[in-house]
Amino acid sequence: MSGSLDQDVFCYPHLNSSCRKPTHPYVEAMLIYVLLSCVSLITVALNLLVIISIAHFRQLHTRTNLLLLSLAVSDLLVGLVLMPVEIIYIESCWNLGDIVCSSYYLINYIITSASVANMVLISVDRYIAICDPLNYHTKVTMKRTKSCILLCWLLSVVYRMVIMHDQLKHPGMSNTCAGECVVIIHFISGAIDLVCTFVIPILIIIVLYLRVFVVAVSQARATRSHILSANMPQMGNVTAKKKELKAAGTLGIVVVVFLVCFCPYYVPSLLGEDTAVDASSVDIEIWLAHFNSCLNPVIYAFFYPWFRKSIKLILTMQIVKPGSRDWKM
């Protein structure tokens, strides 16, 4: 009897090299399943609303919204592909083979890299729109925007294939037993990844948004001075304060959320250690990085009035009416 119970704890009892099945206390496991499933569903729902809104209404077919659409696609894939797989294998062994394991993590890294790159493209777009508005339409054309998005995805694929070269060449090389799906990124590759997908993007975002903040403050001061000269001091103070707070709030949300979500994942690289990722673990750093995909539509879309209006039209099925694509948003 005890022998059969011992066999039940192994992924493949007939193999001496079998891993033990990942287990958690029942209540803890149920809470993890419910919580992570909710995060996955919310991520899919929010990003799907963004995609439908921008794709359906012609008025929303702008350069900035095209970038938001690309970001929403990458974040949708996180909630639709990556999160469910990790939820399924919380209490199960990996039985899809080493090749699928390596391919899964390749797709994982490509999607997350594309998401970060899209964030950078959005910050560049907003920088040009606010700091150089007169030349915005000549510098940021629809053709250039589409090319940048395509380049963003292509570079993410190539970059991640280079980083995971050893894992793709020798699938399962990081596994210690049968039934495991583990990828270990060498600390040198991890350091390169840290610079390319964390340090450089966050520096670009900070610098660009600081510049946007400075411009917003100077514009607010100019507006306040203009209104003061018209003997309307109160309105000038209110307008200036709102603009300053909005600029500061946007900068704060973008930078803080990005740091909070991604910093824990890069701690091993910062410490000069290898980065180990296990499909059957519930590592907080991995799920924090994924959770950023749930927050992105809130940060980049919920602040737009058109998105709130489009949600109502989608949920009430108004978009199925003839001519709804041409409605003003």
174 near 276, Cβ under 8 Å? yes
Alpha carbon 280 to chain centroid, angstroms: 21
Q: Could you give phi then psi for residue 263, rounded to 5 degrees?
A: -60, -45
pLDDT of residue 249: 58
**Confidence at residue 279, expressed as pLDDT on a 0 to 100 scale:** 47
Angle at 150 between CA 148 and CA 154, to 5 degrees: 115
For the cut 90, the answer to whether the pLDDT of residue 303 exceeds it is: no
| Domain residue ranges in the chain | 24-326
**Cα radius of gyration (the chain):** 24
Angle ∠(92,293,306) on CA atoms, nearest 5: 140
State the Cα–Cα distance between residues 102 and 110, nearest whole angstrom.
12
pLDDT at residue 227 in the model: 59
pLDDT at 96: 81
Residue 54 has pLDDT above 80, yes or no: yes
24-326: in CATH 1.20.1070.10: yes
More confident residue, 86 or 144: 144
Distances (CA, A) of 149 to 58, 162, 296: 20, 20, 17
Query: What mean pLDDT do residues 26-44 have?
Result: 87
The yes-or-no verdict on residue 226 having pLDDT over 70 is no
**Residues 6 or more apart whose Cβ sits within 8 Å of residue 138:** none
Q: Is the pLDDT of residue 77 over 90?
A: yes
Beta bridge partners of residue 185, listed in sequence order: 275
- At residue 193, the pLDDT reads 80
pLDDT top residue among 227 and 210: 210
Residue 307: its pLDDT value, please?
82
pLDDT in tens, 113-165: 898 898 889 888 888 887 888 888 899 999 999 999 999 999 999 998 888 88
54 or 259: which carries more pLDDT confidence?
A: 54
Residues 6+ apart with CB under 8 A from 256: none
- Greatest CA separation for the chain: 91
- Using DSSP's 3-state secondary structure scheme, residue 274 falls into coil
275-278 and 182-185 as β-strands: parallel, antiparallel, unpaired? antiparallel
Q: How far apart are CA 172 and CA 27, in angstroms?
A: 32
Q: Give the least confident one: 35-39, 144-148, 150-154, 224-228.
A: 224-228
pLDDT over 70 percentage in the chain: 80
E-strand ranges in 11-54 read none
